[in-house]
Amino acid sequence: MKTRRKFLTILGGGVVVAAASGAWALTRNPTTARAPWAAAGQILDGDPRTRWLSWAILAPSPHNRQPWIVDLRIPDEITLLVDLNRRLPDTDPFDRQITIGLGAFLELARMAAAEEGVTLEVEAFPDGADTASLDLRPIARLKVMTKAATPDPLFQHVSVRRTNRATFDVSRAVSQPDLEAIAAEAIPLRAGFSADATEVARLRDIAWRAMVIEMNTPAAAIESIDLTRIGRAEIEANPDGISLSGPLMEGLALTGLLSREGMAQFGSAGHQAMMDAQKPQFDTAMAFLWIATDGNDRVAQVSAGRAYLRANLAATGRGVAMQPFSQALQEYSEMASSYAELVNALAPRASDRVQMFARLGYAPLPAQSPRWPLATRILKA
């Protein structure tokens, strides 16, 4: 317990304050990893399709894995593929969440083209799909059409859209009109929501207990720990995964109080401290929103990603922070009871599959999440 107390003491002030001062602290920002946000809207090699894709790579994805690859070899088409090396086999064994992330990418690409008056016709899984796992077949084919497109008002919020993992302000409720407006944008799917205090308390509890299961299931926990990037150097070398950036995180790493090895020692002070650091996210959820599909095939999963991206942008436009709580929805065996409990609480239609479950509230806008540059996501012949 001594190590854990020391860890929490430093989190509250102490040694890291000194370490985080001056010029050293100013150099901890992983600016290179965040450069794609500033580059959005630029064209590569004179190809206008790359301008749309420069926005699409800002889409959210599970563990920020950015699983997209695009093939631009056919004129006036974009073929979207999945990078199979970016799967999450332990927490997402059937690639459902990865497919949802690809759906968010597709919707953002469509919106970016529409901003220029260009219609992108999206055909999901043109060559079919396997429900057990993704493979090398296309996720979607996007064709440039002659029909003019109308810009989508939600697109104006793309540059400030975030997945916000901060502690939310418990003094501010999310209003019913805001929740209704956010849910209404989850086109073409059904979105449910609740800000009722009793229901929110119940959902907080279910969500937290699912997180505890995940963090104490070795394969699932290690998958996340292995994808944790601590500090600027690691983030810029691999601008995906779970980023822990800034002078505080680097100071803890320098003192030996923050490491992947410590997190992976189940029952240790480091592992418990990792759990403690996440608990405020669950305790401060002020409302919940969920998205369900009729069935659970690959096209439905893509639609869920498109709908979630739209809801996230709508929340951004209303100043509402949003963060997915995906743990209870995951399909590995240890999570089955949590999924059943969450579905019982949400009470969707019998044919529905709950695809996304997210908390809402208010918090300061965080920094942009790291991104691989678009050039690294284009298939090389």
Domains, the chain, in order of start with CATH, read 2-25+166-361 (3.40.109.10), 31-159+368-377 (3.40.109.10)
- Give CA–CA dist 352/295, Å, rounded: 6
Q: Is it the case that residue 43 has pLDDT exceeding 90?
A: yes
In which band, very low, low, confident or very high, does the pLDDT at 10 lie, cut at 50, 70 and 90?
very low
- Give CA–CA dist 103/142, Å, rounded: 12
Q: Is it the case that residue 7 has pLDDT exceeding 60?
A: no
The two three-digit tokens of residue 26, written as one number: 């100013």
Q: What is the pLDDT of residue 268?
A: 87
Better-predicted residue by pLDDT, 351 or 359: 359
Per-residue pLDDT, averaged over 202-221, amounts to 97
Q: Is it the case that residue 233 has pLDDT exceeding 90?
A: yes
**pLDDT tens string 110-131:** 999 999 999 999 999 999 999 9
- Give CA–CA dist 141/169, Å, rounded: 42
What CA dihedral angle connects 315, 320, 321 and 327, to 10 degrees?
A: -60
Q: What is the pLDDT of residue 25?
A: 59
- Computed over every residue of the chain, the mean pLDDT equals 92
| Integer angstrom CA distances of residue 376 from 25, 81, 112, 233 | 29, 13, 20, 19
Per-residue pLDDT, averaged over 24-51, amounts to 90
Q: Is it the case that residue 3 has pLDDT exceeding 60?
A: no
Better-predicted residue by pLDDT, 245 or 341: 341
Q: What is the pLDDT of residue 22?
A: 56
Q: What angle do CA 89, 123, 82 make, to 5 degrees?
A: 25
Amino acid letter, residue 256:
G
Per-residue pLDDT, averaged over 274-282, amounts to 91
Q: What is the pTM of this model?
A: 0.93
Question: Percent of the chain scored above 90 by pLDDT?
Answer: 82
Pairing of strands 190-194, 140-148: unpaired
User: Can you tell me whether residue 138 is helix, strand or coil?
Assistant: coil
The two three-digit tokens of residue 112, written as one number: 């970016």
| Integer angstrom CA distances of residue 79 from 126, 200, 236 | 10, 41, 28
Please give the backbone phi and psi of residue 133, each rounded to the nearest 5 degrees, phi first. Answer: -165, 155
Q: Is it the case that residue 335 has pLDDT exceeding 50?
A: yes
Question: What is the enclosing helix (H) or strand (E) of 313?
Answer: helix 298-317
Q: Is it the case that residue 226 has pLDDT exceeding 80?
A: yes
